[in-house]
């Protein structure tokens, strides 16, 4: 399965969350900003390369994770549980897009790609069912600073 759509990203984050979550966005600490993501069950926010603006998002659901995209500048992987019914949202604080995914445990890879020739920002989110669940910064650009263990817990952002 594969689909794509555009979404307005704001406050430097692209979020993936379970639609029924009452407080879907995460509170970022300095350590979260440095590593490029803030995760808790049902919600993950990835630090986008561009602080704001229109992003073309590609969603891929696969049995296995493929190779990292050749144009990826930042790549992060986290475990993600899609709930029964599959009701999810992807977007940012200013706007999100609802979609339905197959229920189950996935390794979620977020790849921020080099901007398109037209100048638009791009990201690919791959949900792979048949992979070991892990937290990893697979590729870090100069804006990330990853040292030591990754911080794999976050609190919901308040109001």
Rounded to a whole number, what is the distance in angstroms from the first to the last CA of the chain?
34
Q: Which residues pair with 6 in a beta bridge?
A: 56
For all residues of the chain together, what is the average pLDDT? 94
Please tell me the predicted confidence (pLDDT) of residue 118. 75
φ and ψ of 140, to 5 deg: -115, 135
Please tell me the predicted confidence (pLDDT) of residue 119. 73
What is the rounded average pLDDT of the residues 24-44?
97
Q: Is the pLDDT of residue 48 over 90?
A: yes
Per residue in 133-146, pLDDT (tens digit) is 999 999 999 999 99
Q: Which residues form the domain of 141?
A: 2-156
Per residue in 82-131, pLDDT (tens digit) is 999 999 999 998 889 999 999 999 999 999 999 877 778 999 999 999 89
Rounded Cα distance, 39 and 15, in Å: 10
CATH assignment of the domain containing 96? 2.60.34.30
Please tell me the predicted confidence (pLDDT) of residue 159. 63
Q: Which residues pair with 105 in a beta bridge?
A: 81
Rounded Cα distance, 111 and 36, in Å: 11
Closest by CA to 111, choosing from 151, 65, 54, 71, is 71
- The residues, any chain, with a CB within 8 Å of residue 149's CB and separated by 6 or more, are none
What is the rounded average pLDDT of the residues 36-58?
95
Structural domains of the chain, count: 1
36 close to 137: Cβ distance less than 8 angstroms: yes
SS (H, E, C) 58-127: EEEEECCCCCCCCCEEEEEEEEEEECCCCEEEEECCCCEEEEECCCEEEEEEEEEECCCCCCCEEEEEEE
Instruction: Report the share of the chain in percent with pLDDT over 90.
Output: 87
């Amino acid at each position: 399965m594969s689909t794509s759509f555009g979404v307005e990203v704001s406050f430097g984050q692209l979020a993936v969350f379970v639609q029924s979550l009452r407080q879907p966005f995460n509170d970022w600490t300095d350590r979260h900003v440095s590593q490029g993501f803030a995760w808790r069950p049902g919600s993950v926010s990835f630090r986008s390369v561009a602080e704001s603006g229109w992003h073309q998002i590609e969603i891929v659901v696969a049995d296995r994770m493929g190779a990292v995209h050749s144009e990826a500048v930042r790549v992060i992987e986290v475990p993600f549980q899609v709930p029964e019914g599959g009701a999810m949202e992807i977007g940012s604080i200013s706007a999100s897009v609802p979609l339905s995914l197959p229920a189950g445990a996935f390794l979620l890879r977020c790849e921020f790609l080099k901007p398109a020739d037209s100048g638009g920002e791009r990201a690919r989110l791959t949900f792979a069912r048949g992979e070991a669940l892990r937290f990893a910064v697979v590729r870090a650009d100069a804006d990330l600073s990853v040292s030591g263990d990754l911080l794999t817990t976050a609190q919901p952002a308040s109001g």
